[in-house]
Amino acid sequence: MSYERVDVPSAGEQITSDDSELNVPDDPVVPIIHGDGIGTDVAPAAQRVLGAAAEATGREIHWMRIYAGESARERYDENLPDDTLDALREFKVGIKGPLTTPVGAGYRSLNVALRKRLDLYTNMRPTYHIKGVPSPVKDPDAMDMVNFRENTEDVYAGIEWEAGTDEAERVREFVEEEMGFTESIHEGPVGIGIKPISEFGTKRLVRQAIDYALENGRESVTLVHKGNIMKFTEGTFRDWGYEVAREEYGENVITEDTLWDERDGEAPDADVVVNDRIADNMLQQILTRTGEYDVLAMPNLNGDYLSDAAGAQIGGLGIAPGANIGDGRLLAEPVHGSAPKYAGQDKVNPTAMILSGRIMLDQLGWNDAADLIYDGVEDAISSKKVTYDIHRQIDGGEKLATSEFADVVVDSIEDNA
C-alpha cells in the first residue's frame, strides 16, 4: 500500500492476522502516533523502552510514524487522515499517545473516532499496583483487575439531539405519541439521547473477556450493568453475557448460581466463574472487596467510570495503561489525557504509555520482553527514581525528567536481560 505523507521503514516485516490470530515476525513494523500535548514527551520515551525490551530478547521494532490530531493538521490539514487509518489497518498493531479533539473538528473525540473506524470494539485496561507508587488506599496491592469495556455502543455511539431543536421535538413527539411512552418528560427544551446495546456487540466483548480469563488463569468475569433500571439495554447486556458463558464455553465456565447451588461455593481450579453486579454497587465493592474481583466486562460508560475508579486505587491515571482491541488488530494507548500545559517540558510521567506498550508486547506474544518492561518500571519507582508527580508525594528520592526516567528503565532492562 502506498501512503501520501508517511515514510514506511525500509526494513522490517508486516504483522498479519489469520482468523483473528496475529502472526508476528521478530522484526515487525509498528505504527506509532505520538499524539498531542504531553504525547510529544511520553511517546518517544516509550519508544526507547519498548525498543530496548525487544532488543534484549533478540527482536527489533521498526517504528513507523503516523499522525493524528495537531501533528496531522500540520501535515495534512485534517485531524484523522486516510494514511493513518490505512497504516493501522495494514500493519495490524500500533500504539498512540493522547489526542486532543479541537473545537469544531467534526469529531466528538478523535480517540473514539479511531476506535470506531477500525472496529476496535474492546477497550482493555489492566489495573495493578507497582511497588513504590503512592496510593490513597491502605492496601493497593489488592487491586489486580482487568477491565473489558465495550468501545463502540452505549452512550459513546453519540446518538443524541440538542435541546430546543426541531429534531429533539420530533423525537419527543414520536416517543410520547407513537411509542406510548407514559413516563414524564419535562416541558420546555429537552436534550434526548439513545444508547444502543446490541447482542452482537455485547457477545463479542464478553467472549474477549472470558477468553482472556481462561488464557491467563483468572478466576472470574463480572458483568457490570445497571440492569435493575435500564432493563432492555443494560439488563439485556447481562443476559447476553450469561448466554455466551452457558452456550459457548461448556464446562470451562460456570455461573455464580451454579457455583453455589451445585458446588457449595467451591470452583475447580481450571474454571472461570461468571457473575454480575449492579454498577453503583460495584463502585463501592472495588474499594471494600477489591480482591474478590478479577476481570470485569461492561458497557462503555460503566467501563469508563469503573476503570478510572480502579486506577485511582493504584495511584492515578498517570500510570494506568490501556489498549483498544479488535479482531486481529490492536492500538495501545494510555488512559490519561494530553495535558497541553505540560507539553514539551520533559517533565511528565511516561509510565502509562510505557505500560500500554507492555500490553502491546503481551498481545504480540513477547511475554519475556513485557516482563522486562514491568520489572524495569518497578525497579525505577521502588528505588525512588521518579518523575515530579510521584516525587512530590514521597520522602526523599530523585526527581527525573521524562527522558531520564526512560533512561533508568532502559538501564534496568539491559541489566536484567
Active-site residue list: 156, 226, 280, 304
Residue 117 annotated as lining a ligand binding site? no
Residue 339 annotated as lining a ligand binding site? yes
Residue 392 annotated as lining a ligand binding site? yes
Partners of 233 in the beta sheet? none
Query: 216: which residues sit within 8 A by CB, 6+ positions away?
Result: none
- Separation CA 347–CA 233 (nearest Å): 44
Residue 289 annotated as lining a ligand binding site? no
Residue 309 annotated as lining a ligand binding site? no
Residue 291 annotated as lining a ligand binding site? no
Report residue 243 as a C-alpha cell: 448466554
Residue 341 annotated as lining a ligand binding site? yes
Residue 356 annotated as lining a ligand binding site? no
**b (16+ CB within 10 A) / e for 361-394:** bbbbebeebbbbbbbbbbbbbeeebbbbbbbeee
Residue 123 annotated as lining a ligand binding site? no
- Separation CA 264–CA 252 (nearest Å): 17
The answer to whether the beta carbons of residues 178 and 170 sit under 8 Å apart is no
Residue 75 annotated as lining a ligand binding site? no
Residue 48 annotated as lining a ligand binding site? no
Residue 149 annotated as lining a ligand binding site? yes
What is the chain's Cα-based Rg?
22
Residue 109 annotated as lining a ligand binding site? yes
Residue 388 annotated as lining a ligand binding site? yes
Residue 329 annotated as lining a ligand binding site? no
As annotated, the binding site for Mg(2+) includes 304
Residues annotated within a binding site = 100, 109, 111, 115, 125, 149, 304, 336-342, 349, 388, 392
- Which residues belong to the annotated binding site for D-threo-isocitrate? 109, 111, 115, 125, 149
Binding-site residue set for NADP(+): 100, 336-342, 349, 388, 392
